[in-house]
Amino acid sequence: MTLWPHRSLPRKGFVWFIGTTAVLLLLPILAVLGTQVLWGLLPFMLIAIGGVWLAIQHSYRTGQTREELVLDRDRLQVRRSDPGRPVREWQTNSYWVRAAIRKGPVEDYLTLTDGQREIELGAFLTPEERRALRDELTRAIGRLRP
């Protein structure tokens, strides 16, 4: 199973959004074209467009996060890759693994534990998706047991 965050704005939509934002911000600038006020407003317009640009680019970078789960009778392996960070892996005997929802930094914090170590799973998912994932993992782990 592979988990990744959903990004609803495709690259083509990003171009349209930035273009539309720039055009809409230019409309008030047209009223002050040829005056000294233009030079006072122009930097703020550029800062606004640049800020939106950087925020969406950051969202695309964080959207490259991946969590891969491999589950069989002998082991459960979780491999998490984040952009700019080394890959983190966790492996344990699948017999002892439990998926649980508990109070944490996000609503319906999903964790996997083997009794010794606990790891977070799917923090980028919605609370509904985390609950559904917990149910699916619990069923899959239960099917592996004799």
Q: Is the pLDDT of residue 135 over 90?
A: yes
Counted residue by residue, the chain has a size of 146
Model-level pTM? 0.70
Tell me the pLDDT band of 4, cut-offs 50, 70 and 90.
confident
Residue-level pLDDT at 80: 94
Q: Is the pLDDT of residue 116 over 80?
A: yes
Cα(44)–Cα(25) distance, rounded to whole angstroms?
10
Q: What is the mean pLDDT of residues 64-83?
A: 91
Residue written as token pair 């317009």? 45
**In sequence order, what are the residues at sequence separation of 6 or more whose Cβ sits closer than 8 angstroms to the Cβ of residue 68?**
1, 2, 3, 77, 78, 79, 80, 81
Tell me the pLDDT band of 34, cut-offs 50, 70 and 90.
confident
